[in-house]
Structure 1
Amino acid sequence: MVNSGQSTTNAAEVFEQVHGSAPEGVWAAPGRVNLIGEHTDYNDGFVLPFALEQSTYVAASRRDDDRLDIRSLQADAVGSIALSELEPDNVEGWLRYVAGTVWALREAGHDVRGLSLVVDGHVPLGSGLSSSHSLECAVALAATGVYGIDVPRTELARIVQRSENDFVGAPTGILDQTASLLCTDGHVLFYDCRSGEAEQVPLDAPALGVRLLVINTRVQHALDDGAYGERRSQCEQACREIGVPALRDVTLDGLDEALGKISDEVVRRRARHVVTEDARVLQTVEALRAGDLTTAGQLMNGSHASLRDDYEVSCDELDVAADSAQRAGALGARMTGGGFGGSAIALVPEDLLDAVSAAVRDAFAAADFKEPEFLVARPAAGARRES
């Protein structure tokens, strides 16, 4: 079992060793777990994420030569690129997330110039916990911070989304960057992806006698490999055939009628997931407000089944994680994140935490999967300046 402690960084010390002077500041942005509400964000729907204690840290200072100097404490790589050379497809690997964020800020009209950056990432890579958006949000805060540019967090989320979509080439929605930037300690974020309205819903798991167990299947996933984009295209096709701006506009009462207008069975199932998932988010918020964790857990189970069967973004490891956790006494368990690998989350009574973890581990061993990694998470603070 790995318990989540607040991650710390020595990015400032490394920055001073490399550059001979202290950074102007250190900024941090967390990874996230989505309690429920998967693949609804790019359909103008509802999501319910919370921030992790694990964050990406960026130590930063201005430069006077209009270049980006980028170093990572985790990757054996140093990048240096002129601002004039920032173009999509012109930067490769993890550096494109940094370069793309600066590019998107400049494209939005913000006067960000040369930067020296030292990155220290503590969000597990490829785990479905949004390490890439954590990095982008930390870079966005650092870049605007050192240049004294005041950008509202909601606008900054849109800028980070553009970086991901147009520079990196991953057609992600608005969930991950919004969670990293807007979440608060001890709360899940009830976010309306159409209106931008946000509500902090209290979730003090220890006080409620439960734990939020993140199960990293260690199956690496990527959202720029085509499958994610295919799901978006299928949702757009559904909207055209139904005649609505977004699947958010289809209600449960009108679902059967709407699905009857869709010509393709696969597209029909994609739409059914999104509409029912939006409803599950709304029902989960009501359950949390009422302290009804049993219902919240049942909704998580329903979400996983829908993602597995209708949206088809699960995998064998995620299914085993969710099923074995449920059988061992978790109130609910589901895959979290974009899917095709990554992590699951289970809502577990405190006294069953070890039993659920053991059951998942045994099930993975029986299936000859890699041994899973466990993280006991709690809703933590969002992006911030550290020093």
Structure 2
Amino acid sequence: MSVPKFHDLSFYSEPSAHRSRYANLVKSFRANFSGDEIEFLARSPGRVNLIGDHIDYNYFPVLPMAIEVDVVAAVSTNDSDAIVISNTDAEKFPKHTIPIGKDSDFAINREQHSWANYFKCGLIVAAKFLEEKSTDIKLKGMNITFSGTVPTGGGLSSSAAFCVASTLAVLYANGVENISKADLTRITVVSEHYLGLNNGGMDQCASVYGEQGKALFIQFKPQLKGTPFEFPVKNLTFVITNSLQVSNKYETAPVHYNLRVVEMAIAGDLLAKKLGLQGMPRDSNLDTFSLRGVMDGYCGNWDGEDLSQGIANISKMIDVVEKTLTEKDGYNVEQCCQGLDLTAEEFHAKYLTKIPVKFEVLKLYQRALHVYRESLRVLKTLQLLSSPVDDDAKFFQTFGSLMNDSQQDLDLLNESSNAKLNELCSIALNNGAFGSRVTGAGWGGSIVHLTSIENLPKLTNSLIELYYKHEFPHITKDEIEEAVIDSKPATGSCLVSAEIVKKL
């Protein structure tokens, strides 16, 4: 299945609502690159994860959907040795020039963080893909103007949307006119690793594979794939609220995101050691045993399709964690070394040098328990969504309970929620939401709320009055409209022909 190309804005649920934004993008491009004509546009959306956070980098399935906020790049090509990137929000994202000559290596300076680094991530993986096709490749010069509506730090995957749109733009500019969704996902999954962020592949896969009106069941083993599915209840909808507490994944990674990656990697190795498992692939981002790998090694390989078997295997691992990871308050380095039969130097070299982390204790029990319990909820949710519905009220209650249990574990086991996010969930649950949970990396960002069409007005009004106007007394109407995000499942990554410019 290839990335689609459109000649109009029909990939949006309400095309007319986006015309003024595209007209502004064209105007900005012409102001930045006088005399140039837009040749094509590359686009990729943000995503909201309905359930299954901090488990993708352990290769357990997740349930996200693409949403209509997105990143769009207007592109022209030339024969220069540079790519110039600009943005419709020039004050926040100033123009950058990236050399692409023979001696250019696109090196990312992690000490000098800028939005251009995210473009370089997309450029690097695109260049590697082009080199796979031909060793004699000379990158085209490009002039690009970006427009983004995915809030940065909002937990809706703005960085993934930007990296995927950038990759798609570079590939198309260099003659790759037909790329499969599988290939685009495969190469962009690792794009943010060049920034030192050891994420899984959910964000990129959801952004690429999204379909209008459908959520996605994304699997990582035995192979990466996204399966769209419709909801069995017609009056179901989601509200996504940006808490306006910004948590930049890159800047907070040493104590938040990357620390969870390291803790889960150590937990995987410690479980494997205690269970006497051997001969398994070291399949995590840190060359350790993933928690999915430990489960397959202990319970037998799960094909990812048999939900009953997956539920049985994960349930067994929850029991194993309770009995095996005995330091419930956290492990210090000495205790980890004893359990893994490593010296302090070996432990440091193996787990603490590849990505920077800061910690007092390593909460291996909590992180492993979260991964298995959250993975179990994903499969139970998929079972629910795949079954006939006799009672809408019971469906909403069951789905909502799974989301609420997820939020509790994100708060207490993964510690990626906080008091303000919990308060936002509580307001929603008291005013028409059946389930509310942090979505994405957490530590700020957005909350996704399950509700019905009938409850939507009360829920939205209550969130505005009791949260936004209370927490941010001077918030404007426009800011509120941006914070309460349209949650309709959206079309994934696509190309848009230059014909759209004539129609604006």
Counterpart in the other structure of 1:180: 207
How far has the Cα of 1:157 moved from its partner? Answer: 2.3
RMSD of equivalent CA atoms? 2.2
Distance in 2 (CA, whole Å) between partners of 1:385 and 1:177 is 16
How far has the Cα of 1:308 moved from its partner? Answer: 0.5
Distance in 1 (CA, whole Å) between partners of 2:415 and 2:154 is 18
Counterpart in the other structure of 2:98: 81
Aligned length: 381
Residue aligned with 2:72, SS: strand
Q: Is the contact between residue 45 and residue 69 of structure 2 (CA under 8 Å) also seen in structure 1?
A: yes
Structure 1 residues 328 and 94, CA gap change in structure 2 (3 angstroms): same
The question of 1:377 aligning with 2:487 is answered yes
**Residue type at the aligned position of 1:335:** V
1:164 to 192, 196, 201: 192
Counterpart in the other structure of 1:274: 371
**Residue type at the aligned position of 1:378:** K
Distance in 2 (CA, whole Å) between partners of 1:5 and 1:302 is 34
Distance in 2 (CA, whole Å) between partners of 1:264 and 1:23 is 59
Which runs of no fewer than 5 residues in structure 1 stay unpaired? none
Counterpart in the other structure of 2:306: none
How far has the Cα of 1:279 moved from its partner? Answer: 1.0
Counterpart in the other structure of 1:54: 69
**Residue type at the aligned position of 1:147:** N
2:42 to 17, 27, 31: 27
Distance in 2 (CA, whole Å) between partners of 1:230 and 1:163 is 19
Counterpart in the other structure of 1:125: 152
Residue aligned with 2:249, SS: coil
1:49-82 deviations in whole A, cap 9, x for unaligned? 1111121110112221221100000133110021
Distance in 2 (CA, whole Å) between partners of 1:369 and 1:378 is 26
The question of 1:200 aligning with 2:228 is answered yes
1:216 to 239, 242, 256: 242
How far has the Cα of 1:21 moved from its partner? Answer: 2.5
1:219-249 deviations in whole A, cap 9, x for unaligned? 0011122110000001001100111732225
Q: Is the contact between residue 43 and residue 493 of structure 2 (CA under 8 Å) also seen in structure 1?
A: yes
2:269 to 216, 223, 240: 240
How far has the Cα of 1:287 moved from its partner? Answer: 1.2
1:330-367 deviations in whole A, cap 9, x for unaligned? 11111101000000010112222222223333443697
The question of 1:256 aligning with 2:305 is answered no
Distance in 1 (CA, whole Å) between partners of 2:469 and 2:121 is 42
Counterpart in the other structure of 1:230: 259
Distance in 2 (CA, whole Å) between partners of 1:97 and 1:231 is 22
Q: Is the contact between residue 201 and residue 285 of structure 1 (CA under 8 Å) also seen in structure 2?
A: no
The question of 1:9 aligning with 2:10 is answered no
Distance in 2 (CA, whole Å) between partners of 1:313 and 1:113 is 42
Residue aligned with 2:315, SS: coil
Distance in 2 (CA, whole Å) between partners of 1:32 and 1:356 is 21
Distance in 2 (CA, whole Å) between partners of 1:314 and 1:201 is 28
1:147-195 deviations in whole A, cap 9, x for unaligned? 12244323322322322111x2222211111111111111111011222
Distance in 2 (CA, whole Å) between partners of 1:87 and 1:365 is 41
Deviates more, 1:96-105 or 1:85-94: 85-94
Residue aligned with 2:448, SS: strand
The question of 1:105 aligning with 2:126 is answered yes
1:276-324 deviations in whole A, cap 9, x for unaligned? 1111111111211224333222111111111011100012221111122
Distance in 1 (CA, whole Å) between partners of 2:386 and 2:60 is 20
Counterpart in the other structure of 2:454: 351
Counterpart in the other structure of 1:116: 143
How far has the Cα of 1:275 moved from its partner? Answer: 0.5
User: TM-score scaled to structure 2, two decimals?
Assistant: 0.71
Structure 1: 4+ residue segments shifted above 3 A: 4-8, 110-113, 365-372
Identity %: 27
Residue aligned with 2:454, SS: helix
Distance in 2 (CA, whole Å) between partners of 1:183 and 1:300 is 21
Residue aligned with 1:317, SS: helix
How far has the Cα of 1:141 moved from its partner? Answer: 1.2
Deviates more, 1:247-256 or 1:189-198: 247-256
Counterpart in the other structure of 2:425: 322
Q: Is the contact between residue 321 and residue 365 of structure 2 (CA under 8 Å) also seen in structure 1?
A: no
How far has the Cα of 1:211 moved from its partner? Answer: 2.1
The question of 1:143 aligning with 2:170 is answered yes
Q: Is the contact between residue 59 and residue 219 of structure 2 (CA under 8 Å) also seen in structure 1?
A: yes
Deviates more, 1:102-111 or 1:367-376: 367-376
Q: Is the contact between residue 29 and residue 382 of structure 1 (CA under 8 Å) also seen in structure 2?
A: yes
Distance in 1 (CA, whole Å) between partners of 2:257 and 2:265 is 13
How far has the Cα of 1:9 moved from its partner? Answer: 1.6
User: TM-score scaled to structure 1, two decimals?
Assistant: 0.92
Deviates more, 1:257-266 or 1:77-86: 257-266
Question: Normalized per residue, which structure has more strand?
Answer: 1
Distance in 2 (CA, whole Å) between partners of 1:231 and 1:254 is 19
Counterpart in the other structure of 1:303: 406
Q: Is the contact between residue 33 and residue 49 of structure 1 (CA under 8 Å) also seen in structure 2?
A: yes
Distance in 2 (CA, whole Å) between partners of 1:134 and 1:268 is 33
Residue aligned with 1:159, SS: helix
Counterpart in the other structure of 2:339: none
Distance in 1 (CA, whole Å) between partners of 2:156 and 2:217 is 18
How far has the Cα of 1:369 moved from its partner? Answer: 5.8
